[in-house]
């Protein structure tokens, strides 16, 4: 039995993963800003579900949540940084305060949780950090620049972190979901109040374009994450959804074409031997 701490557990992928991990017999610290939606899990799993309020942008809230885990159980075996939300704006339309809030939740919050969980994981010589990113970090759709940037920052940090803690017995896995049937486009989405007409058509504000269908089933994503986490060698990157796979490969091919095309120019900058 392992102990998981999952942020943003009240809805969407976080809720589905919490249910799946509990059903598999593990202990779960399910966190959210408002925990009312988690009361049913508290009743259903009184011995293995610890429901606690957590604001990932509040350091004291993070410290209190980690302390509760250590009081009840030995510590966190699997940390899942899932809490986050979207923000739609052309780069020129981005509002400074809104962008700062976005990064506080989607990037600096996970960083703070990682730093809070690492001492215990290092002490036990075992642990897994799962950072929920998005294929948006890779395909960088118009209007999603700030969200993509926050997720790309989380992925960059994860890569370095993996190399730092790997020799200590710890593992780091990034999850890149595509579009799933959650409230990401509703309650979990924010939009800039600034709208510049020049961007209306490219951002689909004229009705000329439609959002891609939400193909993914959260419960299937939860099962996939649990399976990957329990693997003897969890993947560095877990892509979820056929749309995410297509986006990942298209972005990789597009980047490779430019690298190949300008290979000689790239090599020309080496100092003469």
Known catalytic residues? 133, 147, 151
Q: Could you write out the DSSP letters of every residue in the chain?
A: --EEEESSTTSHHHHHHHHHHHHTT-EEEEEESS-GGGHHHHHH-TTTEEEEE--TT-HHHHHHHHHHHHHHSS--SEEEE----EEEB-GGG--HHHHHHHHIIIIIHHHHHHHHHHHHHHHHT-EEEEEE--THHHH--TTBHHHHHHHHHHHHHHHHHHHHHGGGTEEEEEEEE--BSSSTTTTTEEE-S---GGGTTTTTTTSSS-PPP--B-HHHHHHHHHHHHTSSS--SEEEESHHHHHHHHHHHHHHHHHHHHTHHHHHTTSPP-
């Amino acid at each position: 039995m392992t102990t998981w701490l999952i942020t943003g557990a009240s809805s969407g992928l976080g809720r589905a993963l919490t249910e799946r991990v509990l059903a598999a017999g593990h202990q779960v610290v399910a966190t959210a800003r408002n925990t009312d939606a988690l009361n049913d899990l508290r009743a259903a799993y009184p011995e293995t579900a610890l429901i606690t309020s957590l604001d990932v942008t509040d350091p004291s809230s993070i410290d209190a949540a980690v302390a509760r885990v250590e009081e009840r159980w030995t510590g966190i075996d699997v940390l899942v940084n899932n809490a986050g939300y979207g923000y739609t704006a052309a780069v020129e339309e981005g509002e400074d305060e809104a962008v700062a809030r976005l990064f506080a939740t989607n990037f600096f919050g996970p960083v703070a949780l990682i730093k809070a969980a690492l001492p215990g994981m290092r002490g036990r010589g075992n642990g897994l950090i799962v950072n929920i990113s998005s294929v948006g970090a890779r395909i960088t759709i118009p209007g999603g620049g700030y969200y993509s940037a926050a997720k790309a920052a989380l992925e960059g940090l994860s890569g370095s972190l993996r190399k730092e803690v790997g020799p200590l017995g710890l593992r780091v896995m990034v999850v890149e979901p595509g579009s799933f049937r959650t409230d990401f486009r509703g309650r979990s989405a924010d939009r800039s109040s600034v709208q510049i007409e020049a961007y209306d058509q490219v951002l689909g504000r004229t009705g000329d374009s439609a959002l891609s269908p939400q193909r993914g089933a959260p419960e299937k994503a939860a099962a996939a994450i649990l399976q990957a986490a329990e693997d003897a060698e969890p993947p560095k990157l877990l892509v979820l959804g056929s749309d995410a796979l297509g986006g990942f490969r298209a972005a990789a091919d597009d980047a490779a074409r430019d690298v190949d095309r300008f290979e000689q120019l790239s090599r020309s900058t080496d100092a003469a031997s």
